[in-house]
A and B are shown apart, each in its own frame.
Chain A
Amino acid sequence: MTLVEPELAARVLERALGRGGDMAELYAEARGGFGISLDDGRVERPQRGRETGACVRVVHGESTHYGHVDGLAEEDLLRVAGSVSEAVRGEAAHPVALTATRRGTRHAVATPPEDVDAARKAELLRACDERARAAGAEVAQARIGYAESRREVEVYGSDGRAAADDRTRIRLSAQIVARRDDRVETGSHTRGGHAGWELLEDEPESVADEAARRALTLLDAVDAPTGRLPVVVGNGFGGVLLHEAVGHGLEADAVQKDASVYAGRLGEQLAPDFVTAYDDGSRPNAWGSEGVDDEGTPTRRTTVIEDGRLASYLYDLLRARKAGVASTGNGRRESFRHLPVPRMTNTFFAPGDATPEELIGTVERGLYAVSFGGGQVEPATGDFVFGVSEGYLIEGGRVTAPVRGATLVGNGLEALKAIEGIAGDLDIATGYCGKGGQTVAAGVGQPHVLIRELTVGGTAG
């Protein structure tokens, strides 16, 4: 399907450069989705949406002027282009002829979710609810969510760029509450990807099993310890630590504003030499993957830390131009209502040689942080804080009691230096990442990682 004919796109770009500018771009999008949830034993909130719209931007020196509009009507696109062009005061520039549209590598979608009867999706929720409740008499509440989305995007640039992508994502999530007397604990789990219904064909109910297991485990949790302790961070969603404490600081907009603690450190040894990390937007069917980014650049694997050395930042077109390098395919936007900015896709530590048991075995007294409720980082300093949603004490090299209320506080640079071991069990989980008011799907992942020392803020005093 074509959203905007290249012939019309060319006229929009011509008009956008009517009073000059270094680059003009038209981004068009048709996005739609379906979601339904089950809560308190009841299937509810079935919801379907469809939106179309476009964004026109003109880059002039260090300034970007842009406008967006709902719908893809020719007169609206031309009007927005005209209004954006007025912010520039110069001689008209002219776009080069558009190349043939490059279609992003499709991540295989065997069964488009929209081809599956909606009633089956409601049934899946009921099956998950049943499984969660069967996990134990102490399971008090189950909330199961299903969401599918499809984004068709087209990008046309005055430098001749013409690209299109078609992205299908699907996600199943479970949040289970367990209760014993006055104690109430929550466990969550998700499965999702840049994929079709096939992702949910193999034992989807295990998502509910896992969330229920976490909630039930936490019922026996003791108060988290406080102080500086060794921490083993779990695989999969444990990668939030890398995402927050390192990844955001590698995004070139923060770097170029000197608002990142990683600015000016390319080539520096930031971590032990057995540490390598990637951002990979081309990883097949991964949650944060895309065919091309939202500027039409093909996604790829970028090595950000190589053998402990800082190897690359993450660029969109604008920041790449400023740095004199090529875009790494990280120009992403939440929708046609936003400007592209450098964003992570799927960010993860490369697997190492150890096993999780070996890492845990070296810790006399510490914390095993399996999963986080979320986190936040100040890119300028690298300071981070994470809430541990599933954690355990490590005593005498063994995982013992579950803990609750733990928070990890630290600094990205210090945490990288303090990595003592990496296991081989890489897993990538489905995250949503917010930055500058834009939320995008971001894959977070890692194998098990041992960090020599982090500040654990607990409730045990």
Chain B
Amino acid sequence: MTLEDAARRAVEAARSAGASDADAWAEESTSRRVRVYAGEVESLSDAGGRGIGVRAFAGSRSGYAYGTDLSDAGVAETALAAREAAELADEDEHEGLPDELGSSRVDGLASPGFADWSTERVVELALAVDRAARAPEGVTQVENSVYSDARGSVALANSRGFAASYDATQAWAYSSAFAGEGADLMTGIGVGMGRDPAALDPEAIGAEAASRALALVGARQPESRRCPVVLDAFVAASFMGFIGSMLSADAVQRGRSLFADREGDEVADPVLRLADDGTDPDGPASAPFDGEGTPTGRTGLIEDGRLLSFLYDTRTARRAGRATTGNASRGSYRSPPMVGTTNLIVDPGELDLAGLLAEAGDGLYVTDVAGLHSGVNPVSGTFSVGASGRLIEDGEPAAPVREITIAGDLVSMLRSVRSVGSEARWVPFGGSVEAPPLLVAEMAVSGS
């Protein structure tokens, strides 16, 4: 029996239980994970999973249930639980299935080459990442190097006749290296991701982990200052991920976004352009349809310095009198669709990293931030986060620094972006984000 069949049966079962409408999201996946420590395989897993989530409507109320039992009886039980749950919710006139159903064309979600990668070969890849991370002089040790992949199928059916499915593959690797000794031990992370293991460069991933750790050896707490700040791609992606979550129409409508009432306003310097694109073939979060069966697409978010649009699912779009942007997101079958980003993409600019540092002159180059989610007030946009990196002197990277905080408010930061780097990359921090480094004209840096 196919996943699509299971989803259809769940929808029928929900309708039989009295639901006015229903949809069902079924998943099946296999995944592997190799963890290497000290040149040896520390753990190796091979796993399979499957499950289904049913959303049932009772008029304008909705309820949700999920389970791992895909037998006829199991699916019927889950559908009934969803139908019963719907009775508990309050009416919401905007609830319901989307009017626009269908699929966008997204090529290359599943790599045909994926199947060629035996477990032995991906173990070799993980070992190569680890070797590359340990090789450079000055690396004290490598905490671990991890390879992980997944091959999965997703099917969605609803009571308006929609039924579709797709397959996707994904492979990641990362390494975490240490340099320095004792209380001066500093860490660095290297990452790579793609549709199959062939897209990963184990030498580059290991070398990145090592060089990030080595660059911080001897870091000290600097004096407080206000100065230009260059955010590297990892850090820029983390901030953009947070900003993306604030552009959810759900956060806006519930009064929990600093961007509420600011559509059309100038919120950034014109050099910064941000979009959400669920159809980018390289985007890890790409898919032909969103979590409720609307075709995915590209939504410009910030252009010419102005806030163009929020991200909508069906319910928030109806409430705003708009069309959905195809941003009903499902973490897995265990959660109902909610507004979320797909792939956030920051358009690259002209300058490479050296050029950004040169333009900064004297300032701070931030390579790591900690506590972003606890350090940002989503409503006011004020933030204060821990950071480490290097000072910039005369346009060159200088002394490494740690135990600092950078503070400000997000809109002021976006408005004072002076240059966008040319070297954009996919980063799995802050969701799925493709971001280059950014030069911010001035931020408050607090140290000693």
Residues of A within 8 A of B86 (CB): 46
Residues of A within 8 A of B137 (CB): none
Shortest Cβ distance from residue B262 to the other chain A in the assembled complex, whole angstroms? 12
Q: Check B386–A409 contact: CB distance below 8 A.
A: yes
Chain B, range 86-144, C-beta contacts under 8 Å to A: 86, 88-90, 92, 141, 143-144
Which one of A43, A118, A459 lies within 8 Å of B407 (CB-CB)? A459
Does A375 sit within 8 A of B, measured CB to CB? yes
Which of these binds chain A: B64-72, B266-274, B305-313, B359-367?
Answer: B64-72
Residues of B within 8 A of A407 (CB): 371, 375, 384-386, 405, 407
Residues of A within 8 A of B377 (CB): 185-186, 404-405
Which one of B43, B183, B444 lies within 8 Å of A64 (CB-CB)? B43
Contacts A45-B64, A387-B371; is A380 near B178 (CB within 8 Å)? yes
Q: Check B336–A70 contact: CB distance below 8 A.
A: no
Does A339 sit within 8 A of B, measured CB to CB? yes
Q: Check A387–B403 contact: CB distance below 8 A.
A: no
Chain B, range 38-90, C-beta contacts under 8 Å to A: 40-51, 62-69, 78, 81-82, 84-86, 88-90
Q: Check A70–B183 contact: CB distance below 8 A.
A: no
CA of A411 to CA of B63, assembled, Å: 46
Q: Check B43–A63 contact: CB distance below 8 A.
A: yes
Does A156 sit within 8 A of B, measured CB to CB? no
Does A130 sit within 8 A of B, measured CB to CB? no
Residues of B within 8 A of A271 (CB): none
* CB-based nearest A residue for B182: A261
Q: Check A385–B375 contact: CB distance below 8 A.
A: yes
Which one of A45, A339, A459 lies within 8 Å of B382 (CB-CB)? A459
Q: Check A228–B382 contact: CB distance below 8 A.
A: no
- Binary interface profile of A, 382-394, with partner B (CB < 8 Å = 1, else 0)? 1111110100000
Give the interface residue-count category, chain B.
Answer: 35 or more
Q: Check B42–A64 contact: CB distance below 8 A.
A: yes
Contacts A67-B45, A118-B88, A177-B379; is A457 near B68 (CB within 8 Å)? no
Count contacts on A: residues with CB < 8 A to the other chain: 79
Which one of A64, A224, A383, A386 lies within 8 Å of B44 (CB-CB)? A64
Residues of A within 8 A of B403 (CB): 383, 409-411, 455
Shortest Cβ distance from residue A23 to the other chain B in the assembled complex, whole angstroms? 13
Residues of B within 8 A of A459 (CB): 382, 384, 407-408, 444
Residues of A within 8 A of B384 (CB): 224, 387, 405-407, 457-459
Which of these binds chain B: A50-58, A196-204, A442-450?
Answer: A50-58
Does B418 sit within 8 A of A, measured CB to CB? no
Does A357 sit within 8 A of B, measured CB to CB? no
Q: Check A380–B63 contact: CB distance below 8 A.
A: no
Does B185 sit within 8 A of A, measured CB to CB? yes
Does A48 sit within 8 A of B, measured CB to CB? yes
Residues of A within 8 A of B402 (CB): 381, 383
Which one of B65, B182, B380, B444 lies within 8 Å of A183 (CB-CB)? B380
How many residue pairs link A and B with beta carbons under 8 A? The number is 236
- Binary interface profile of B, 222-255, with partner A (CB < 8 Å = 1, else 0)? 0010100000000000000000000000000111
Which one of A46, A50, A63, A461 lies within 8 Å of B67 (CB-CB)? A50
Residues of B within 8 A of A383 (CB): 386, 402-403
Q: Check B382–A53 contact: CB distance below 8 A.
A: no
CA of A261 to CA of B374, assembled, Å: 24
Shortest Cβ distance from residue A391 to the other chain B in the assembled complex, whole angstroms? 11
CA of A384 to CA of B383, assembled, Å: 16
Q: Check A67–B185 contact: CB distance below 8 A.
A: no
Residues of B within 8 A of A228 (CB): 448
Does A42 sit within 8 A of B, measured CB to CB? yes
Does B37 sit within 8 A of A, measured CB to CB? yes
Chain A, range 325-375, C-beta contacts under 8 Å to B: 337, 339, 372-375
Shortest Cβ distance from residue A122 to the other chain B in the assembled complex, whole angstroms? 5
Q: Check A47–B143 contact: CB distance below 8 A.
A: no
Residues of B within 8 A of A44 (CB): 62, 89-90, 92
Does A438 sit within 8 A of B, measured CB to CB? no
CA of A378 to CA of B176, assembled, Å: 12
Other A-B pairs, 9, CB within 8 Å; known A51-B67, A118-B84? A36-B88, A49-B66, A70-B48, A184-B380, A227-B446, A385-B405, A405-B407, A409-B405, A455-B446
The 9 A-B residue pairs with the shortest CB-CB distance in the complex, in nearest-first order: A457-B405, A385-B386, A374-B374, A387-B374, A373-B374, A46-B85, A184-B379, A407-B384, A70-B68
- Show 18 A/B contacts (Cβ-Cβ < 8 Å), sorted by A: A36-B88, A44-B89, A63-B42, A70-B48, A70-B68, A71-B68, A257-B143, A373-B374, A380-B186, A381-B402, A383-B402, A385-B405, A404-B377, A405-B377, A407-B386, A407-B407, A409-B404, A457-B405
Which A residues have a C-beta under 8 Å from some C-beta of B?
36, 39-40, 42-53, 62-71, 83-84, 87, 118-119, 121-122, 140-141, 143, 177, 179, 183-186, 224, 226-228, 257-259, 261, 337, 339, 372-376, 378, 380-387, 389, 404-407, 409-411, 413, 455, 457-459, 461
